[in-house]
């Protein structure tokens, strides 16, 4: 047995039980056969912000809910983020719970596959990026980068492939302003067909907003949100999906949860539920 690195996190058995009904089944089955079990999870402030600004890495979760997020990572085959988060945070996107691969156990068991949505392949990663440092140390997997670009930069592709990652081209549509929009079912089917039976989607703001749109919210099997007792103030990365309207043109809530449970967790509260369709 390897010894766990110093940054290993503990998440006691007694804290795990409450999460179980909100997690992918342990046997790998999913409610929809060709789709992975899909969890939306993020941390938010009291004013619904994910971060102080789009480029700022901002700690919201306290120690217990941070350990919970890492436990969630151990229970999913993949973690999905947008390129905005990759650029802002230089994230590790591995699981640092004691007992998973690289943290007390040989191999990479329990380490999720990072998946970065990067339509134009703009992320300037390098050998020094945290993700690749973790790969070298046997503490994480190399990312799959989801892009609309047919031929990504050859050097970046070679670096990615050296660590076992790759670019994956997935169908995207263009909005009226020319922005790429992922077709979420296409992405999720692709991830499942590449062996990811469960994915957790961590953000950032653009990713969450697009998933909470009426056409895609039914893809979510579970929603787990950490709410931290802080206001980040104006200028933050706010999670606020587009308004919906009823047949008479009256505004109605954009999205709502059902089967809701609230769990106080240190100074934070963790909200678990499912999208009410």
Ligand X SMILES: Nc1nc(=O)c(N)c(NC[C@H](O)[C@H](O)[C@H](O)COP(=O)(O)O)[nH]1
Ligand Y SMILES: NC(=O)c1ccc[n+]([C@@H]2O[C@H](COP(=O)([O-])OP(=O)(O)OC[C@H]3O[C@@H](n4cnc5c(N)ncnc54)[C@H](O)[C@@H]3O)[C@@H](O)[C@H]2O)c1
> Which of ligand Y, ligand X, none does residue 83 bind (CB under 5 to 8 Å by kind)?
ligand Y
When asked if residue 57 is in the footprint of ligand Y (CB under 6 A), the reply is yes
Choices 42-50, 189-197, 254-262, 267-275; region in contact with ligand Y by CB under 6 A: 42-50
Q: Which of residues 126-185 bind ligand X (CB under 6 A)?
A: none
When asked if residue 68 is in the footprint of ligand Y (CB under 6 A), the reply is no
Q: Distance between CA atoms of 66 and 70, rounded to whole angstroms? A: 6
When asked if residue 69 is in the footprint of ligand X (CB under 6 A), the reply is yes
In this structure, what is the dihedral angle of CA atoms 158, 156, 146, 174, given to the nearest 10 degrees?
A: -140
Calculate the alpha carbon distances from 271 to 22, 113, 265 in Å: 10, 25, 10
**What minimum distance in Å lies between the beta carbon of 164 and ligand Y?**
23
Which tokens is 44 given?
Answer: 């938010």
Closer Cβ to ligand Y, 4 or 61, answer by number: 61
Closer Cβ to ligand Y, 24 or 205, answer by number: 205
**What minimum distance in Å lies between the beta carbon of 257 and ligand Y?**
17
> Which of ligand Y, ligand X, none does residue 143 bind (CB under 5 to 8 Å by kind)?
none
Q: Distance between CA atoms of 201 and 39, rounded to whole angstroms? A: 6
Q: Distance between CA atoms of 219 and 237, rounded to whole angstroms? A: 23
**Residue from 16, 31, 47, 59 in contact with ligand X (CB under 6 A):** 59
Q: Which of residues 200-259 bind ligand X (CB under 6 A)?
A: 202-203, 226
Cα diameter, the chain = 64
**What minimum distance in Å lies between the beta carbon of 250 and ligand Y?**
27
When asked if residue 83 is in the footprint of ligand Y (CB under 6 A), the reply is yes
- DSSP bridge pairs for 182: 172
- Provide the strand spans (E) within 198-242: 198-203, 222-227
**What minimum distance in Å lies between the beta carbon of 248 and ligand X?**
39
- DSSP bridge pairs for 116: 81, 145
Centre a 10 Å sphere on the Cβ of residue 48 and count the other Cβ atoms it contains: 15
Which tokens is 74 given?
Answer: 């151990």
Contacts to ligand X by CB under 6 A? 43, 58-61, 69, 81, 85, 89, 91-93, 202-203, 226
């Amino acid at each position: 047995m390897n010894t766990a690195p110093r940054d290993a996190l503990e998440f006691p058995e007694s804290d795990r039980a409450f999460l179980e009904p909100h997690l992918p089944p342990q046997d790998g089955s999913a409610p929809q056969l060709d789709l992975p079990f899909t969890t939306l999870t993020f941390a938010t402030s009291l004013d619904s912000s994910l971060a102080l600004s789009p480029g700022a890495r901002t700690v919201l979760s306290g120690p217990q809910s941070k350990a919970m997020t890492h436990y969630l990572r151990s229970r999913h085959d993949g973690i999905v983020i947008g390129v905005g988060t990759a650029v802002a945070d230089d994230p590790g996107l591995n699981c640092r719970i004691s007992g998973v691969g690289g943290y007390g156990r040989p191999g990479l068991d329990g380490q999720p596959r990072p998946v970065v949505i990067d339509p134009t392949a703009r992320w300037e990663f390098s050998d020094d990026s945290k993700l690749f440092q973790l790969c070298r140390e046997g503490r994480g997997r190399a990312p799959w980068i989801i892009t609309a670009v047919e031929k990504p930069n050859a050097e970046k592709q070679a670096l990615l492939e050296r660590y076992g990652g790759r670019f994956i081209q997935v169908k995207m549509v263009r909005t009226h302003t020319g922005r790429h929009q992922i077709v979420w079912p296409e992405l999720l089917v692709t991830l499942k067909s590449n062996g990811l039976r469960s994915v957790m989607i961590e953000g950032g703001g653009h990713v969450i907003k697009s998933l909470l749109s009426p056409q895609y919210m039914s893809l979510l099997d579970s929603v787990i949100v950490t709410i931290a007792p802080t206001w980040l103030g104006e200028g933050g990365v706010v999670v606020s999906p587009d308004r919906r309207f009823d047949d008479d043109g009256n505004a109605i809530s954009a999205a709502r949860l059902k089967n809701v449970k609230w769990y106080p967790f240190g100074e934070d509260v963790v909200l678990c539920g499912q999208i009410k369709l």
